Amino acid sequence: MMIALTGFFILLAMIVIARVPIAFAMGLVGFFGFAFLQGLTFDTVMDFRWTGALSMASKRVIDTAQEYSLSVIPLFILMGNLVTKSGLSQELYRASYAFLGHRKGGLSMATVVACGGFSAICGSSLATSATMAKVAMPPMRKYGYSDSLATASIAAGGTLGILIPPSVILVIYGLLTETSIRELFAAGFIPGMLGILLYLGAVRYVVWRDPEAGPCGEKFSWAERLEALNGVWGVLILFSMVMGGIYLGIFTPTEAAGIGAGGAFLIAMLRRSLNWGSLFEILTDTARTSAMLFAVLIGALIFSNFINRAGLPADLLAMVNSLELSPMLVIVFILLIYIVLGMVFESLSMLLLTVPIFFPLVQSMGFDLVWFGIVVVVVTEISLITPPVGMNVFVLSAVLRDVKAATIFKGVTPFWCADIIRLVLITAVSSVALFLPELLYR
């Protein structure tokens, strides 16, 4: 256990202090840690046979590259890039604005709803925040919304991208823990919708305290509202096709990703938003993002092999049993660790660092891994908007250069409080996450 913890602290130092990319940091610590467990010392570096560590690392690289189920990642990323390019975000915002814009805080509410719809197709929190900032910020400023509420609704709405399916981070969790991806997608739907409702409540709370922060916009007639819905048919059809096919068991998540990417391509073609230059840009961006995620995943798997070989999960279980802690108290401690780490690490790094350590412990205590996956993703969402490393906040600061990060952090406080409420509900009442998976697949 001491060897594993030493390796973990060396990894943290490499990432936080030396600024080594997380993929290489996890791979190096995992490789040399595995070699150390086989008898490598400073005196035997030159004479030591590296066969075991090299074999383990090379097997992880080859197996990951050849893993058929991993093709779901680049396909969902491609689908999100095509959707972003086709301009569906503007149509979603217009439809949401038509129904909610006339209320106090209505434009912020419309932003949250539009972010939820866009992230359901895009699957990326950072991309959702960056895209919706360009779409939603101008009208909110036009009607006199405070910068703190306007930017906070975009930053918080963007976090929905990693939970509402199809979600790349749920796919990665499923691959790390060998959990059913379609069950994870089903489990993420209700908590995602609950997140939208609680964010709407956070907006209402802000405008209740300060009515001038979110003045009313113009009111649309029912004819204009129905007309605005015509622009979102692409999103509705694509989401229904992809997720409906998965939920009903018509095709696998990997097949659904292929159908979604093909459908997004057809929508972009019909909207005449593609040319050879933009298509090349979309494909290269998809390849770049996919390569980054695969590198991080390979590093995480090598690090996981070291952790498991060192026996850290088994030692943690023995320690928990010796302390006679209740299982739910252990979950609370794990969540507190996630909240603290979320102040330093971004979401994917935190997931890949901790899941290999915690999921064997959680599984051995009898908890459902699908439920734990949703809990982990929700607590990871909180890290996207909390200081000092709230990635969505810094993305908005980069896009909206005239708004300080401190202003956004101040505005998101009611939203991450709403996330804490949702986390408590899902943790205390597991059926919030497990209702759909149990209804459809068990």
At 149-163, the pLDDT tens digits run 888 898 888 888 778
- Of the pLDDT bands very low, low, confident and very high (cuts 50, 70, 90), residue 102 is confident
Ranking 127-141, 144-158, 410-424 by mean pLDDT, the lowest is 127-141
Q: Rounded distance, CA 42 to CA 64, Å?
A: 31
**Alpha-carbon dihedral angle through residues 292, 376, 60, 181, given to the nearest 10 degrees:** -90
Split into its structural domains, the chain has a count of: 1
Give the tokens for residue 97.
């604005």
Q: At what angle do helices 72-85 and 233-247 cross, to 10 degrees?
A: 160
- Of the pLDDT bands very low, low, confident and very high (cuts 50, 70, 90), residue 375 is very high
Ranking 256-265, 307-316, 428-437 by mean pLDDT, the lowest is 307-316
Q: What's the pLDDT score for residue 124?
A: 66
Range with top average pLDDT, 23-37, 252-266, 365-379: 365-379
Tell me what percent of the residues of the chain surpass a pLDDT of 70: 93
Q: What's the pLDDT score for residue 199?
A: 93
Judge whether 295 lies within some domain: no
Q: What is the CA radius of gyration of the chain?
A: 22
Q: What's the pLDDT score for residue 200?
A: 92
Note whether 394 and 400 are within 8 A (CB): no
Judge whether 12 lies within some domain: no
Q: At what angle do helices 22-37 and 2-16 cross, to 10 degrees?
A: 160
Q: What's the pLDDT score for residue 384?
A: 79
Task: Tell me the residue range of the domain where 180 lies.
Answer: 69-274+311-441
- On average, the pLDDT of the chain sits at 81
* pLDDT at residue 187 is higher than 80: yes
Give the tokens for residue 422.
């949702």
221 or 424: which carries more pLDDT confidence?
Answer: 424
At 209-246, the pLDDT tens digits run 888 888 877 788 878 787 877 767 777 787 788 888 87
Q: Scan for tokens 């972003």, then name that residue.
A: 84
Judge whether 233 lies within some domain: yes
Ranking 30-44, 130-144, 171-185, 270-284 by mean pLDDT, the lowest is 30-44
Give me the mean pLDDT over the 8-12 stretch: 81
Residue 318: enclosing H or E segment and its boundaries?
Answer: helix 312-323
Q: What's the pLDDT score for residue 123?
A: 63
Judge whether 55 lies within some domain: no
Judge whether 188 lies within some domain: yes
Spatial CB neighbours of 268, under 8 Å, sequence gap ≥ 6: 82, 83, 85, 86, 274
Ranking 143-147, 195-199, 222-226, 379-383 by mean pLDDT, the lowest is 222-226
Burial code (b: 16+ CB inside 10 Å, e: under 16) for 216-244 equals ebeebeeeeeeebeebbebbeebbebbbe
Q: What's the pLDDT score for residue 197?
A: 92
Give me the mean pLDDT over the 364-372 stretch: 89
Give the tokens for residue 306.
């070291």
Spatial CB neighbours of 133, under 8 Å, sequence gap ≥ 6: 151, 154, 395, 396, 399, 400
- Of the pLDDT bands very low, low, confident and very high (cuts 50, 70, 90), residue 122 is low
What is the per-residue DSSP string for 361-411? HHHHTT--HHHHHHHHHHHHHHHTSSSS--HHHHHHHHHSTTS-HHHHHHH
* pLDDT at residue 166 is higher than 80: no
Judge whether 434 lies within some domain: yes
* pLDDT at residue 412 is higher than 60: yes
Judge whether 282 lies within some domain: no
Judge whether 18 lies within some domain: no
* pLDDT at residue 136 is higher than 60: yes
Q: What's the pLDDT score for residue 346?
A: 67
* pLDDT at residue 43 is higher than 70: no
Q: How many residues does the chain have?
A: 442
Q: What φ, ψ does residue 431 adopt, rounded to 5°?
A: -65, -20
